Amino acid sequence: MAEKKHDALGYRAKIGILVPATNTIVEPEMAAMQPPGVTNHVSRMSRVKRPAHDLELYKKFLGKSVDMDVAIDLLAALEPNIIAHGHSVDSFVGGMAGAQVMRKHMQAVAGGIPVMLPSLAILKALEVMGKPGKLAILTPWMPPADEACAAFFAESGYKVLAIKGLKHLTPLDIATATPELLNAAVDEINVPGVECIIKVGTNSSMARLVADMERRLGKPVLTVNTVTYWAGLRAIGISDRLPGYGRLAESF
């Protein structure tokens, strides 16, 4: 049998990353976390316009992706070890059943390549951290998306003590969230009894804020891009710690 050849740069793993066309945060945040011998490869989906001024239409378009299968097929061509889905809201719609259907579909389109969804990655992170049962959640979204997110965690056995949606009007606006805004919002949802804080929404940048937040608040803080990338690495057997990205990435 011929010896298996390895990619010259991604000789340990190639990570496929799927993002919406408007997302400017996932790619650089995950690039900064790459361990030696791991390469990231991004494919983009056309944007879904969710009208912030019409919450009924906004809700109707949750869970909808334009040309996702085409973007997955482009990633599958480079034979990544895993595909990380860099769009979190769709992974919460429909609860656990919706997430499993979504992952199964994506893996089928990818020809069996494993897929890591943000929602399932967060559940894995909570599990390895001892299942802190009382959560506070920060989102960039409008109420219908917040409700889907909270329902997902409630169905999974967690109690959501606080949830705050920042109500950004457009996907590009999400990426303008400043450290000051994110820190203030996290402080606001850190109500008595909260055991873990979770930030969802992949187009706001919080990866480099988590370690300081955890020191200040004395509890775990999970941000979706770090969690999804961490879970993807662990799923394919890469156990490198990611210093500077908080307790989860540094210790598990």
pLDDT in tens, 51-61: 665 556 555 55
Q: Which of 111, 116, 113, 163 has the alpha carbon at shortest distance from 140?
A: 163
Instruction: Give the pLDDT band (50/70/90) at residue 17.
Output: very high
Mean pLDDT, range 7-14, rounded to an integer: 98
Q: How many CB atoms lie within 10 A of CB 237?
A: 9
pLDDT tens-digit map of 108-150: 999 999 999 999 999 999 999 999 999 999 999 999 999 999 9
| Extents of the domains making up the chain | 13-119+225-246, 122-224
Q: Which amino acid is at 91?
A: S
**Mind spelling out the 3-state secondary structure of 103-136?**
HHHHHHHCCCCCEECHHHHHHHHHHHCCCCCEEE
Give strand ranges (E) for the chain. 13-20, 38-45, 82-85, 115-116, 134-139, 159-165, 196-199, 221-223
**Residue carrying structure tokens 């993807």:** 232
Tell me how far apart the alpha carbons of residues 146 and 118 are, in angstroms, rounded to a whole number.
15
Task: Name the amino acid, one letter, at 66.
Answer: V
SS3 183: helix
Q: What is the CATH number of domain 122-224?
A: 3.40.50.1860
Question: Do 13-119+225-246 and 122-224 fold alike per CATH?
Answer: yes
Question: Residue 195: left if φ>0, alpha if ψ -120 to 50, beta else—which one?
Answer: alpha
List of long-range contacts for 123-129, beta carbons under 8 Å, 24+ apart: 123/156, 124/231, 124/234, 125/222, 125/227, 125/230, 125/231, 125/248, 125/252, 126/158, 126/196, 126/222, 128/248, 128/252, 129/196, 129/220, 129/247, 129/248, 129/252
Q: Which of 2-6, 74-78, 196-200, 245-249 has the lowest mean pLDDT?
A: 2-6
**With contact defined as beta carbons under 8 Å apart, do 212 and 38 qualify?**
no
At the topology level, CATH places domain 13-119+225-246 in Rossmann fold (3.40.50)
Enter the pTM of the model. 0.94
Contact (Cβ atoms closer than 8 angstroms) between residue 84 and residue 232 = yes
